[in-house]
Structure 1
């Protein structure tokens, strides 16, 4: 795909101001976070993905997840921290929320962090989701003041996107812009395409993951608004 992600994001985010804030570190021990590593090149940028089972590539080989597909194309050293069931508020199968993944991401000293909202938070209080989203992204920027942070809109299945998922995405966009991150709206690339979903009608097939990866690439190619 030619130009590296770091170069593209640096150009895409030129002129954005970064917000620096101080946060207190929690005393509780963080749950164990499983990192799926893709070392496309020893010289590539360190990129960390924070998200849910769709970003993880549930039901597929880890190399089929859309962040891993981009890593292979762009030569990243990717650590995919995304996990089943996790959200900004919702505790996932590994006992983690996105705040826990943020904590794990910081220790990896990434040049780029990719994060997305999640349908796993559907049904939770809008106020609680907004607070947790702002807190996680604020903490991420405070700990990584020079990293590029890329907030990708959440992926739904082949049916109409729930209203609350749009609210969740709006919270991410607001928090991302506050901290000088880049928000990318990739639309709903799986809408109306049941053949791109696994039997559970939730998780993308390998082909569906490739469609999501392509949508992210298209969004990155757009000029800054």
Structure 2
């Protein structure tokens, strides 16, 4: 299953990343997948009263009993840009920052190197290989999300049969909507790095927009987010830096319906 961080952990993580000197240490200290949902209020030992009972102890009260709405569970499907490859946020990507901004509980099911049609068999993949996006729909269903976010598509441009890519995009969104008939679906445009967007990626963007809209998903057009911004791309000339991942999160947040606030 994906990686989840409690809201407080997300805030501490991103605050630490803002201080570049300690960014890597923070991620190593916490470890991907080692952060679990923390209780809203810790149990604090107090003094003993005259009758022997303990005073000053705070009970752990679930959010539901406090009258608070639980954070929506949000599944992310995507590629290395969603994974956060080659950064201190590897395995987390932009999902935690976006979730912090929108009060979501993220489950990151993204797999590096995959796409709508692209799968592969790298050494770190399970025996059956790393599936294209449709291959993680069952895992997404198992997470019982309120929202599904799909962000990727750039890896499909390397495939020779682009007609098959178009078919895969259409079939994926048909399957995704069938699996989540009433849930909110959010789709971002496929992103490129800091150079000009290759011509072969443009029709993939158009197909993703068309098919996402067809099934009633919210399409978020990020355009050429990193063009002429090499400082936001890592030394591999492919993946966004931690600052680049934050830009993705903040750009998606700005283009979605504003988060409702109390009062």
TM above 0.5, one fold?
yes
C-alpha distance in structure 2 between counterparts of 1:117 and 1:75, whole Å? 22
C-alpha distance in structure 2 between counterparts of 1:157 and 1:147, whole Å? 31
C-alpha distance in structure 1 between counterparts of 2:194 and 2:217, whole Å? 28
C-alpha distance in structure 2 between counterparts of 1:127 and 1:141, whole Å? 22
Q: What corresponds to 2:136 in structure 1?
A: 101
Of the three residues 72, 95, 98, the one matched with 1:45 is 72
C-alpha distance in structure 1 between counterparts of 2:151 and 2:246, whole Å? 17
Runs (5+) with no aligned partner, structure 1: 1-33
User: Residues 117-128 of structure 1 correspond to what in structure 2 (within 5 A)?
Assistant: 117-124=152-159, 125-128=161-164
C-alpha distance in structure 2 between counterparts of 1:171 and 1:203, whole Å? 23
C-alpha distance in structure 1 between counterparts of 2:90 and 2:97, whole Å? 9
| Aligned-partner SS, 2:4 | strand
Q: Is the 8 A contact 1:173 1:183 kept in 2?
A: yes
Question: Does 1:36 pair with 2:63?
Answer: no
Q: What corresponds to 1:88 in structure 2?
A: 116
Question: Does 1:174 pair with 2:210?
Answer: yes
Q: Is the 8 A contact 1:157 1:201 kept in 2?
A: yes
| Aligned-partner SS, 2:194 | coil
Compared CA separation, residues 87 and 138, structure 1 to 2 (3 A): same
Q: Is the 8 A contact 1:87 1:121 kept in 2?
A: yes
Query: Would you say how many aligned residue pairs link Structure 1 and Structure 2?
Result: 189
Q: What displacement does 1:38 show?
A: 2.9
Runs (5+) with no aligned partner, structure 2: 8-36, 38-62, 64-69, 259-263
Q: Is the 8 A contact 2:137 2:179 kept in 1?
A: no
C-alpha distance in structure 1 between counterparts of 2:224 and 2:3, whole Å? 25
TM-score normalised by L of structure 1? 0.78
Q: What displacement does 1:151 show?
A: 0.9
Q: Higher relative CO (CA 8 A, sep ≥ 6), structure 1 or 2? A: 1
Moved more, 189-198 or 92-101: 92-101
Max Rg structure: 2
- Residues 100-144 of structure 1: per-residue CA shift (max 9 Å, x gap): 122211221211111123211113222111111111111111111
